[in-house]
Amino acid sequence: MNRSSRARPAPPLFSRARASVRRVARGLLPEPLRRRYHGYALQRDFGIDRKSGVRTRFPLDRSLSRGVNLVGWFGSPTGIGQSARALARAAESAGLPVSRIEAGHLDAGGAAPAPHAVNLFHVNADGAASIVQLCGPSVHRGHSNVGYWYWETEDFPRRWRDRFAYFDEIWVASEFCRASIARESAIPVVVVAPPVILEIPPHAVFASPPEAGESFRFLTVCDADSVPERKNPLGAVRAFSRAFSGDGSVSLTVRVANAGNASGLLLELQAAARGARVDIDTRPLDRGGIERLLAGCDAYVSLHRSEGFGLPIAEAMALGKPVVATAYSGPRDFLDETTGYPIRWKPVVQKAALPPYPAGTRWAEPDEEHAADSLSRIVADRAEASRRGEAGRKRIESIYGLAAAGRRVADRVDGLLARLARKP
């Protein structure tokens, strides 16, 4: 590449001021003119032809260091926030410098400087375009640009096809996500799974289930903002009730974040318990509180209908907990009969729209009778449950340990930069 031809970004203060003016101007335009302005801005600022969806790629800026500018929701206690934090630590463990850019602060004045060669936009496809635009062309231009996306169904929405134009490739956490997104993508989609990292101190973890006769506690975790029908805590409660109705020595804690955003959910959960010992926890919890819940349970259950990755499942396994989970979607990368208790399922089509999932979404309906049997087996044969829990812990450490994840990130960064450097 001719060094003199590389794009020179505007000074950071000027760039942020210009981005702020653009945002204000867009907000003042009527909707039809706003759409036209958007098309113009795409072509002018990012080199994307609106009709063809093809982006003219600017040459890589060779003065940028080998490293990652990671844009994400670092302050969020959700799985998306934890994934961004974990990927940043993975990159650093492999010797890659990381500049963290908080996505939630971009409206307040634009992005921080992007001194490294790779921009990793850890923002799902629905919000990817707006976050790239908020960062501005000075951050985008001259860098290699990667989207990190999660998606939870087999069909990636065609309405988000235009997001691909901003990126050189898409990284995902699981083979399930890769297969779904790749069907709609003209750019590479590759699995670069994050590490599974917990900060809980070792003395707080009980690797073996309690002895027979002692009380036993299952846990399931659900965020009402992540579509309860997909997370399916009702299925977990029904299966638990089928297995342990009237048995006060076995309990299920149902952790529901943002419960007020799902009308009627708590009443449905209480009704589904049917005499079984079900405790519903709706307290506000930070990341440490979530980890303490995981460490304090004896086994974890997730009768999800679909997961992009299944972070709480992997985290419970990392703590050596026996796990009962639907044998579908993201968790299939690490959960099988040797590392947990996978649950049979049949395909089901969702008749009503559950935004962002449209009517007609296909996912799994877990077999609650099989789940109830598996829950009972864990309590009845605690030695076998402990063996599977330990096998699961070793599986997670080998695939999703910090060192392994760091190698994945570094190898992909180097391969991406080499590929783009070869292009004219």
Give pLDDT tens digits for 97-109. Answer: 999 999 988 876 6
Residue type, position 141, single letter: R
Strands (E), 250-298: 250-257, 277-281
Reference 378, options 204, 206, 214, 216; nearest CA is 216
Give pLDDT tens digits for 191-242. Answer: 999 999 998 865 555 445 565 556 899 999 999 999 999 999 999 999 999 9
When pLDDT is cut at 50, 70 and 90, the band that residue 47 belongs to is confident
Q: Enter the pTM of the model.
A: 0.88
Q: What is the pLDDT of residue 23?
A: 57
* Number of other CB atoms surrounding residue 240 within 10 Å: 30
Q: What is the pLDDT of residue 204?
A: 58
Q: Are strands 345-349 and 362-366 parallel, antiparallel or unpaired?
A: antiparallel
Tokens of 176: 């399930």
Q: Which 8-state DSSP code applies to residue 194?
A: P
Rounded (10°) angle between helices 233-244 and 265-273: 20
Give pLDDT tens digits for 121-144. Answer: 999 999 999 899 889 898 999 999
Give pLDDT tens digits for 2-23. Answer: 333 333 334 444 445 555 555 5
Cα–Cα distances in Å, from 352 out to 66, 157, 228, 355, 361?
47, 16, 14, 9, 9
C-alpha–C-alpha distance, residues 367 and 370, integer Å: 5
Q: What is the pLDDT of residue 19?
A: 53
Per-residue pLDDT averaged across 57-84, rounded? 94
When pLDDT is cut at 50, 70 and 90, the band that residue 424 belongs to is low
At the topology level, CATH places domain 3-195+403-422 in Rossmann fold (3.40.50)
Give pLDDT tens digits for 335-368. Answer: 999 999 999 999 999 999 999 999 999 999 999 9
Per-residue pLDDT averaged across 181-189, rounded? 96
C-alpha–C-alpha distance, residues 304 and 365, integer Å: 8
Q: What is the pLDDT of residue 213?
A: 58
C-alpha–C-alpha distance, residues 123 and 148, integer Å: 6
Give 217's contacts (C-beta < 8 A, 6+ positions apart): 250, 251, 252, 253, 296, 297, 298, 299
Rounded (10°) angle between helices 382-400 and 311-318: 110
Low-confidence winner among 100-114, 242-256, 273-287 (lowest mean pLDDT):
100-114
Q: What is the pLDDT of residue 392?
A: 98
Counting every residue, how long is the chain? 424
Overall CATH class of domain 202-400? alpha beta
37 has pLDDT over 80: no
Q: For the chain, give every domain's residue range.
A: 3-195+403-422, 202-400
- Residue scoring higher pLDDT (402 or 424): 402
- As a whole number of Å, the end-to-end CA separation of the chain is 7
Reference 250, options 205, 282, 290, 219; nearest CA is 219
